[in-house]
Structure 1
Amino acid sequence: MNIIGCKWVFRTKRKSDGTVERYKARLVAKGFNQVAGEDFFDTFSPVVKPTTVRFKSSKTDVSLFYYTAGDSRVFLLVYVDNIIMMGNDAVLVASLLQRLASAFKIRDLGTPHFFLGIETIADGDCIILSQRRYMTDLLGRAGMVDCKPLATPVAVTKSVIPSDEPFENPTHYRRVVGALQYLTITRPDLAYSVNRLYQFMHSPTTEHWGLVKRVLRYIKGTLSLGLRFSPSFSTRIQAYSDSDWAGCPIDRKNTSGFAVYLGSNLISWLSKKQRTVARSSTEAEYKALADVLAEITWVVSLLQELGLHSGEPASLWCDNLGATYLCANPVFHARTKHVEIDYHFLQDKVASGDFVVNYISTTDQLADIFTKPLPAPRFATLRDKLNVVLHQPCS
């Protein structure tokens, strides 16, 4: 048996404005001395999916617990050793909190204002999620506090002479890009640029570091942007799907992206590079539709489990007519056997009436921001439609 030691870890916990809240000390085991497969086999920490005591445990997301009694609802989200509880019955929430305190050592921090580096800002009936302090700290770690702001995170024009000189500090590159990934929780406008930076994690060059610096310069000028959630009378699900066919100049793989709305609120988004090369724009768009359909299926499953689904079919918006026709017209199938799995998945969902695929013009395609670099005016317009808005920092 490999006996491991322990050590003290000291941290300073700060409030959203940067002032000291408390000093924290932990005695932790030196798990890094263990060898996977010999000293241990599995590790697990309960982490809620970023898009979301037994009451009842959710089958859709194992870190979500919910309780329903008549018109009263309580939801509990677990993220490692942090918990957020919410509900429409204050008495029931208080009672549950007391019962938890009798069984576990917990601290009630009241209404959440700062959780996992995310600040919750009230704006009338709306709330805005902001990571302003996190962004400020990131700029400090990258040495970019005094950098000049830019209007977009990615340049539309490409470098005339690309550099293949290895970046002198690849570990620093990976740390900064990894930190940017966490920032996309509240900043969907950064999804495309961060996804592109992640493609060079194994061997970054000086040119790639230049791309990172451009993203940081954009962040410098948008520290007061956050993701807004507002009351919505509609609970209908709508999704926008797009793909940039053969957009990568290195391997000609396409980048796809989607945005999923519940009522007027953006609840899920994605920008990713496809693993295979598409042989047509229709195939590229069709694969993007399959990705967003899988995400919507999960969202619908969660809403149905919580009793919050309206029952209306979800609407998918695509700016490629060929992909739109392919969802409902089996005649096209003979020419697209190489996308057979995606075809059957989409066809079954559309035929069952759970989803409706509609055509939308490229001008109105909101997912365009997740697939390619855009000029500043177009980028700002789509960013606004993603509900990324300005807010006043808390004093």
Structure 2
Amino acid sequence: MDVHNAFLHGDLDEEVYMKLPPGFRHSHPGKVWRLRKSLYGLKQAPRCWFKKLSDSLLRFGFFQSYDDYSLFSYTRKNIELHVLIYVDDLIICGNDSYMLQKFKDYLSRCFSMKDLGKLKYFLGLEVSRGPDGFFLSQRKYALDIVADHGDDLRTRPAYTPVEQNHHLATDDGPLLTHPRSYRRLVGRLLYLLHTRPELSYAVHVLAQFMQASREAHMEAALRVVSYLGGSSGHGILLHSLPDLTIDVYCDSDWSSCPITRRSLSAYVVLLGGSPVSWKTKKQKTVSHSSAEAKYRAMSVALKEIQWLRKLLKELGIDQAAPARLFCDSKAAIHIATNPVFHERTKHIKNDFHAVRDAVRDDCHAVRTNEQLADIFTKALGCDQFHYILSTLGVRDLHPPS
């Protein structure tokens, strides 16, 4: 559902005055208007609108999630409704059609609403339904990026988003004369990461050169666009299977940054075999060994597991079985399961030792060639890249002709 003129519904608590619009005349020259409602352009407008909407939902009987403030849930006996909010766009789901219609009628009385029907297109995300589940993609968005840079693409398509054994961080080639185009392209690629996990590492690397963009960096960004040209229909399939166990693969690339020598952490979360969360991020401190870097990656993945379990619980999904954490470093697993901290682990922060209490016997070793998080930490060869891609469940409903 969509709200018409959403910000105009917000009630102002502060005193805000505005000058009269040019050309407007009245009998009290030199005076200004005091606003009773929020207007577009005010800093208070988004907050006032969200408060107005959330108060309406709370009056209906919803409760607000503490783990995701944009999520509201309604539970009465066997009836469940969930509302996800993005500014003035609402996604509503539930298990009772009568209650759904009753709730939509209530919203229409509170605000000027537009019912857009079943979810098909939302903020650039395309949603397709089938017997196997939901398929999420950004095909139109990807095709728009390719179309805008069609003249700059190489004639030979790219089968991976980033070249293996690249040296982008140490490149000292000429700077771009117009870096704004590079920044705009990388910004557009960032939004693709919602449904394209295989682009996480490539975009992470490219985003580090916003300040001083060079020609080699632009060529690497155009390689990603070339890759999109042959894989614009790629997306993730959320399976409709009843299995909702959490499997997490975490990995790190030790001392991968040649400038700061900081390691790279990454994880991917699979819910019932479907990827629902992933991240690539440079670690805040320098790790003294690969085992320490892997251990820090496990700590980051653990925080995501804890947040996701709480979110699922608010959605009415109790995780009876523990989440399984997969790592390809036996040394890091031994540190996590060892109840005694020796001198080689004292320099690791105390919060990382929370991993030991959380994983217990649910931390498993995985072979390096089966580590799904590898695609988030390094540039892989074509064979290994596409093997992990298929294992993650990335599909293409619109293969190029």
Fold agreement, TM-score > 0.5: yes
The match for 2:28 is: none
Q: Separation in 2 of the partners of 1:172 and 1:118?
A: 24
**Bigger shift: residues 302-311 or 187-196:** 302-311
Contact 2:252–2:294 (8 Å) recurs in 1: yes
The match for 1:133 is: 140
Q: CA deviation at 1:4?
A: 7.2
The match for 1:154 is: 162
Q: CA deviation at 1:89?
A: 1.5
The match for 1:61 is: 68
The match for 1:18 is: none
Structure 2 unaligned runs (5+)? 1-15, 23-37, 51-56
Structure 1 unaligned runs (5+)? 8-26, 32-39, 47-52
TM score, norm. by length of structure 1: 0.84
Q: Separation in 2 of the partners of 1:6 and 1:362?
A: 66
Q: Does 1:273 align with 2:307?
A: no
**Secondary structure of 1:77's partner?**
strand
Written as runs of structure 1 = structure 2, the 5 A alignment for 1:253-292 is 253-292=262-301
Q: Does 1:250 align with 2:256?
A: no
The one-letter amino acid paired with 2:378 is K
Contact 2:328–2:367 (8 Å) recurs in 1: yes
Equivalent residue pairs, number: 357
Contact 1:163–1:206 (8 Å) recurs in 2: no
Q: CA deviation at 1:330?
A: 3.0
Contact 1:136–1:145 (8 Å) recurs in 2: no
Q: Does 1:120 align with 2:119?
A: no
Q: CA deviation at 1:378?
A: 0.6
Q: CA deviation at 1:5?
A: 8.6
Contact 1:5–1:29 (8 Å) recurs in 2: no
Q: CA deviation at 1:214?
A: 0.8
Question: For the pair shown, which has the larger CA radius of gyration, 1 or 2?
Answer: 2
The match for 1:50 is: none
Q: Does 1:366 align with 2:372?
A: yes
**Bigger shift: residues 136-145 or 123-132:** 136-145
Q: Does 1:232 align with 2:241?
A: yes
Contact 1:6–1:30 (8 Å) recurs in 2: no
- Counting aligned pairs with the same residue, the percent is 37
Q: Does 1:194 align with 2:209?
A: no
Q: Does 1:107 align with 2:106?
A: no
Q: Separation in 2 of the partners of 1:82 and 1:189?
A: 28
Q: Does 1:301 align with 2:310?
A: yes
Q: Does 1:88 align with 2:81?
A: no
Q: CA deviation at 1:342?
A: 3.5
Contact 1:139–1:145 (8 Å) recurs in 2: no
Contact 2:336–2:353 (8 Å) recurs in 1: no
The match for 1:340 is: 349
Q: Separation in 2 of the partners of 1:6 and 1:223?
A: 46
Change (3 A) 1:343 1:266: same
Contact 1:128–1:228 (8 Å) recurs in 2: yes
Q: Separation in 1 of the partners of 2:243 and 2:224?
A: 35
The match for 2:225 is: 216
- Residue-by-residue CA offset, 1:212-270 (whole Å, 9 max, x unaligned): 01111111110121111111222211100000111222322211110111112111101
Contact 2:153–2:226 (8 Å) recurs in 1: no
Change (3 A) 1:250 1:316: same
Kindly report the root-mean-square deviation, in angstroms, between the aligned alpha carbons of the 2 structures.
2.5
TM score, norm. by length of structure 2: 0.83
Contact 2:63–2:73 (8 Å) recurs in 1: yes
